[in-house]
Structure 1
Amino acid sequence: MQKTNEVSTPKAAVLGLQHLLAMYSGSVLVPILIGASLHFTSEQMTYLVSIDIFMCGVATALQIFANKFFGIGLPVVLGCAVQAVAPLIMIGQKFDFQTMYGAIIAAGIFVFLIGETFAKLRKLFPPLVTGSLITVIGLSLIPVAFQNIGGGSTAAKDFGSGTNLLVGAFTVLLILALTVWGRGFIHSIAILIGLIAGTVLGGLFGMVSFQPVIEASWFHVPTPFYFGTPHFEWSSIVTMILISLVSMVESTGVFFALGDVVGRKIEQDDLKRGYRAEGLAVLLGGIFNTFPYTTFSQNVGLVQLSGIKTRKPVVFSAAFLVILGLLPKIGALATIIPAPVLGGAMLVMFGMVAVQGIRMLQQVDFHNDKNLLVAAISIGLGLGVTVQPEIVQQLPKTVQLLFSSGILMASLSAVLLNWLFNSKNPQPEMSEEDGLNEK
Structure 2
Amino acid sequence: MSAPPRDPAGRHPVDQRPPLARLAALGLQHVLVMYTGCVTVPLVFGAAAGLDASAIALLINADLLVAGLVTVVQSLGVSRLLGIRLPVVTGATFAGVTPMILIEQQYGMQAVYGSMLAAGLFGLLVAAPFARLVRFFPPLVSGTVITVIGLSLIGVAAGLITGNDPKAADHASDGRLALAAGVLIFIVLFTRFARGFLGQIGILLALVGGTLVAIPMGLTDFSGVSGTDWLGPAAPFHFGAPRFPPTAVLAMCVVMLVIFTESTAAMLAVGEAAGRPVTDKDLARGLAADGLSGVLGGAMNSFMDTVFSQNVGLIGITGVVSRYVTAVAGGLLVALGLVPKLGALVAALPGPVVGAAALVLFATVTMVGVNTLRRVDLDQGHNLTVAAVALGVGLMPEVAPGIYDGFPSWARIILASGITSAALTAFALNLLFHHVGRDARRRSPENAQ
TM-score tier (shorter): over 0.9
**Residue-by-residue CA offset, 1:118-157 (whole Å, 9 max, x unaligned):** 0111111000111111111111111111111112333433
Cα distance in 1, alignment partners of residues 170 and 448 from structure 2: 47
TM-fit CA distance, 1:427: 4.2
Counterpart-to-counterpart distance in 2, 1:430 and 1:403: 25
What CA distance in whole angstroms lies between the structure 1 residues aligned with 2:264 and 2:166?
Answer: 32
Q: What SS is found at the alignment partner of 1:294?
A: strand
Structure 1 counterpart of 2:343, from 312, 331, 334: 331
Structure 2 distance, partners of 1:349, 1:420, is 33
d(CA) in 2 for partners of 1:45, 1:143: 24
- The counterpart of 1:402, out of the listed 388, 402, 414, is 414
User: Which deviates more, 128-137 or 40-49?
Assistant: 40-49
AA partner of residue 206 (structure 2): G
Q: What is the CA–CA distance in structure 2 between the aligned matches of 1:115 and 1:325, rounded to whole Å?
A: 27
1:268 to 256, 268, 280: 280
* Selected match of 1:238 from 250, 263, 267: 250
- Using the alignment, how far apart are the partners of 1:355 and 1:114 within structure 2? 31
Matched, 1:428 2:445: yes
Which residue of 2 is the match for residue 436 of structure 1?
none
Q: Which amino acid aligns with 1:93?
A: Q
1:139-288 to 2 correspondences below 5 Å: 139-288=151-300
Tell me how far apart the structure 2 counterparts of residues 95 and 191 of structure 1 sit (CA, whole Å): 43
Structure 1: 5+ residue runs without aligned partners? 433-439
Give the conservation status (yes or no) of the 8 Å contact 1:285–1:292. yes
The answer as to 2:361 corresponding to 1:349 is yes
Per-residue Cα deviation, 1:177-223 (whole angstroms, up to 9, x for no partner): 11111111111011111111111122121111112211211111232
SS of match in other structure, 2:215: helix
Which SS does the other structure have where 2:91 is aligned? Answer: strand
Letter in 2 for 1:266: V
Matching residue of 1:59: 70
**Measured at CA, do residues 430 and 355 of structure 1 come closer, stay the same or move farther in structure 2, by a change above 3 Å?**
farther
1:370 and 2:382 correspond:
yes
**Structure 2 residues without counterparts, runs of 5 or longer:** 6-12
Partner of 1:99: 111
Equivalents in 2 of 1:297, 1:247: separation in Å?
13
- Given that 1:298 and 1:350 are in contact with CA atoms closer than 8 Å, whether structure 2 keeps it comes out as yes
The number of equivalent residue pairs is 432
The one of 134, 148, 167 equivalent to 1:122 is 134
Question: Given residue 209 of structure 1, which amino acid in structure 2 is its aligned partner?
Answer: D
The structural deviation recorded for 1:17 is: 0.2
Identity of aligned residues (%): 39
Task: Note the alpha carbon deviations across 1:247-291, whole angstroms, 9 max, x for none.
Answer: 111101100110111011111111111111110111101101111
TM-superposed deviation, 1:21: 0.6
**Given residue 390 of structure 1, which amino acid in structure 2 is its aligned partner?**
G
Q: State the shift of 1:358 in Å.
A: 0.5
- C-alpha contact (below 8 Å) 2:76/2:324 kept by paired residues: no
1:38 equivalent in structure 2:
49
User: Is the 8 Å Cα contact of residues 147 and 154 (structure 1) preserved in structure 2?
Assistant: no
- Of 321, 340, 354, 1:309 maps to 321
Selected match of 1:13 from 24, 27, 43: 24
Q: Find the residue that maps to 1:204 and give its secondary structure.
A: coil
Q: CA RMSD in A?
A: 1.7
How far apart in 2 are the matches of 1:405 and 1:49?
Answer: 22
SS at match of 2:306: strand
Instruction: Mark the CA change 1:336 to 1:170 in structure 2 (over 3 Å): closer, same or farther.
Output: same
2:400 maps to 388
Q: Give me the TM-score of the superposition, normalised by structure 2.
A: 0.93
SS at match of 1:239: helix
Give 1:2 shift. Answer: 4.9
Question: Residue deviations 1:381-413, cap 9 Å, x none?
Answer: 111222113221221122122111111111122
